[in-house]
Amino acid sequence: MQIVYQAQDIAEAHIVAGMLRASGIQAHVAGHYLQGAFGEVGTFNLAQVKVDERDFLDARILIDEYEHNNRDHNDSNEEPYGS
């Protein structure tokens, strides 16, 4: 299996893995136990989503779309300048 995504935390890793599974790509979340050892602060990108090598490119396409949509959503929630 290859790491296809480094999540901010274990919750985001599960969101991405669920999205991939819904599209027919088997995905595995790694880093459950390591993140717990460090707590919520300073997890050092331990939450990872892994897929089989043959699914890597298809998974990256979906993840790129997820990141693009997530970035657009975050940009629209910013306070207008001068507020």
Task: Give, in degrees to the nearest 5, the angle at Cα 55 between 71 and 8.
Answer: 35
Its CATH architecture, for the domain 2-76, is 2-Layer Sandwich (3.30)
pTM of the model: 0.75
Closest CA relative to residue 51, chosen from 80, 8, 10, 16: 16
Q: Position of tokens 């331990």?
A: 46
The confidence score (pLDDT) of residue 53 equals 98
Tens of pLDDT, residue by residue over 25-63, are 999 999 877 655 555 555 566 899 999 999 999 999 999
Domains in the chain: boundaries: 2-76
CB atoms within 10 A of CB 35: 19
